[in-house]
A and B are shown apart, each in its own frame.
Chain A
């Protein structure tokens, strides 16, 4: 092959790249609310197959925490929680989808970080789960703390904050480690289960679910250390403030509902009889809050009616009816947790 041919091939490929890049960043929708209403369906990005967050149930329908958040927004905007289309997304895909504007909201459990929020064409909305990463090891190693892991091998997945967290933790404590990084959680978990690695790392809430999936769950322990702070928040495309307000305040409504004691089953009764002015405004009895974000006064009522309040969503998917995890930091601020909804006034 001579030089001329090489240059020719390179230039052809360059042109194609530019063309593809151009198409990837197509015109994003200026008025997303109108677009969603017109399409009559809400497009959500969710985590690919993690029990408790987004997983097909026996009937093959997607259920989980991610999915319920998506449903609440669909109920608020479209009046029907079933008018959703969930797409499983890994991180690079989710970023691209946000840039291209092909999804309306990503409820996938992504950690809110500076690098992801700024200059990426997307906005985080509000923290829905406070998590942190931790280690799981085999009991027979006799390890009781992460600080005893000098020289250990880690199984983890790429495309998350995990890699840098582990590396920072070990640098802080001046220890060495080896890592095997897999493309997806399933393989990382399987390799750890077969003994390829000494330690398995991921978000602690995920770790609980993963331990149950091991060949013999009793052989493994989760170490006490939490090596990172992982505030997990849904994301929306950058640039449409109206749409961002809708998502943020629908999520706020779910948390406020728990605080005021509004549940899926008593929402009608509360709406008719509650004397609490916050409840009256939230459920659209008084005030014009719904109109101000372009959804009609019963938007929050519809969201709560569809999926219940935050506590109910938690228990159904992650709590006692789901993965069996304790609320911990994810309690309301009134019960010593970190969850707080700005007031509806």
Chain B
């Protein structure tokens, strides 16, 4: 008894007991909730499980990046809409970051006009609810776009009207895969050149125009391969049918409005995050760089941005995750995103609301964790080494 008591007095033993006790209590509570849910579902005669996902979906999706029809299954519908969400999020993230950077620079500018513009922009766009902005852009776009029979014609190959912007669709013929490989190889080469130039500059201090050279490589190598193969791509030009253009690839107003709205709204927040990061770099550094003859461009790219990054990345990650989750508002504008499929058509047809909510949760969780992981890797790569 005496020995047991002295054992208990050991701090580590006591805290471990408490911790494991808590874990067991939480598990029991979860089990109880799970059991209650199951019992009640049984008693109400509600079908559970994910078998319904193999059934035919029976509805169309206006934007599908891979083949999909009303005869496809619910799983296909989920994959198509999941891709749509990812595409929308990634493009909006890129554009909003660019925009944010310019907003930050203009708010920090010495030019009063530019500075005031930045101030106004941020105040307007971050203070109006996003859904309202999305509706505004969507219905403004519909108002401005010409009717179907009055399309704006771009050289008889591309057309703009209220159903969107249609351009010719590329149809790949034999030998087209070699061009894809050429692009991959060219990209790898360009990255190689960039790394070599960077290493050489660190060693010898001699700069090299790696961006221009890389761009030339990425453009000319695929072109050369295409020329050798005799341009194995033909184009399907959109033609006006009974109601609208058929064929070609289209950019629909729903997608464009979503992209526009998300970019402008999140650009304001990202601008503030970047501004805070830039301001965190002591002004002495800028003055020192100025004094040794750095250009403004060099000051930003070599001195300020690398140091600002470690402050920018964590809140920027938050903003990216916010943006990604707010794509769920797309359902209101008729853009078929992941949430659109889950909350609307599939729930209405199958009634498997609980299962669909679980899928929604894990879908968004997956995207969010992926983005967070990428940002964490980037954060580690750019952080200032500490000794």
Contacts and interface: CB of A to CB of B under 8 A. Distances in A.
Nearest to B368: A9
A163 B59 contact: yes
A306 B71 CA distance: 49
Given A25-B40, A163-B345, A183-B332, A196 B242 contact: no
A195 B147 contact: yes
Band of interface residues on A = 35 or more
Contacts of B253: 196
B45 A238 contact: yes
Contact of A119 (B45, B60, B162): B45
Interface in A138-192: 141, 149-153, 155, 158-161, 163-164, 167-168, 171, 177-184, 187-188, 190-191
Interface in A242-270: none
B369 interface: yes
Interface stretch (B85-93, B122-130, B333-341): B333-341
Contacts of A161: 348
B40 A26 contact: yes
A59 interface: no
B46 A99 contact: yes
Contact of B46 (A121, A159, A179, A181): A121
Given A158-B344, A191-B334, A28 B40 contact: yes
B33 A121 contact: no
Interface stretch (A88-96, A224-232, A282-290): A88-96
Q: Main SS of the interface on chain B?
A: helix
Interface stretch (A11-19, A43-51, A63-71, A324-332): A11-19
A17 B361 contact: yes
Contacts of B348: 91-92, 158-161
Given A115-B349, A187-B332, A9 B369 contact: yes
Interface in B20-51: 26, 29-30, 32-34, 36-37, 40-41, 43-47
Contacts of A92: 343-344, 347-348, 353
Given A21-B358, A188-B334, A181 B351 contact: no
A195 B45 contact: no
Given A21-B358, A95-B353, A195-B142, A27 B33 contact: no
Given A99-B46, A194-B143, A21 B351 contact: no
Given A99-B46, A184-B332, A238-B45, A179 B60 contact: yes
A239 B40 contact: no
A96 B58 CA distance: 23
Band of interface residues on B = 35 or more
Contact of B336 (A26, A168, A181): A181
A116 interface: yes
A151 B40 contact: no
A305 B87 CA distance: 58
Residue of B60, B62, B332, B347 contacting most chain A CB atoms (<10 Å): B60
A164 B58 contact: yes
A21 B60 contact: no
Nearest to B244: A153
Contacts of A191: 139, 142, 334
Interface string B171-198: 0000000000000000000000000000
Contact of B162 (A27, A158, A194): A194
Interface in A1-38: 1, 6, 9-10, 13, 15, 17-19, 21-28
Contacts of A1: 369, 372-373, 376
A241 interface: no
Nearest to B70: A167
Contacts of B36: 22, 25-27
Interface in B327-386: 331-334, 336, 340, 343-345, 347-351, 353-354, 357-358, 361-362, 365, 369, 372-373, 376
A22 B62 contact: no
Nearest to A92: B347
A198 interface: yes
Contacts of A141: 243
A181 B365 contact: no
Contact of B331 (A18, A28, A96, A158): A158
Contacts of B244: 151-153, 178, 198
Contacts of B242: 150-152
Given A119-B45, A194-B162, A181 B340 contact: yes
Given A6-B369, A158-B331, A194-B142, A239 B44 contact: yes
A120 interface: yes
B272 interface: no
A299 to B, nearest CB: 27
Contacts of B351: 95, 115-116, 119-120
9 contacts: A15-B30, A21-B34, A22-B32, A141-B243, A158-B343, A159-B347, A167-B60, A196-B253, A198-B148
Interface of B: 26, 29-30, 32-34, 36-37, 40-41, 43-47, 58-60, 62, 70, 135, 139, 142-143, 147-148, 162-163, 241-244, 246, 252-254, 331-334, 336, 340, 343-345, 347-351, 353-354, 357-358, 361-362, 365, 369, 372-373, 376
Given A25-B354, A183-B344, 14 more contacts: A1-B372, A9-B369, A18-B37, A19-B33, A21-B358, A99-B44, A115-B351, A118-B47, A121-B41, A167-B60, A181-B336, A195-B147, A195-B148, A198-B148
Instruction: List the 7 shortest-distance A-B pairs measured between CB atoms, nearest first.
Output: A158-B344, A22-B33, A119-B47, A163-B59, A121-B44, A183-B331, A167-B70
Interface of A: 1, 6, 9-10, 13, 15, 17-19, 21-28, 91-92, 95-96, 99, 115-116, 118-121, 141, 149-153, 155, 158-161, 163-164, 167-168, 171, 177-184, 187-188, 190-191, 194-196, 198, 237-239
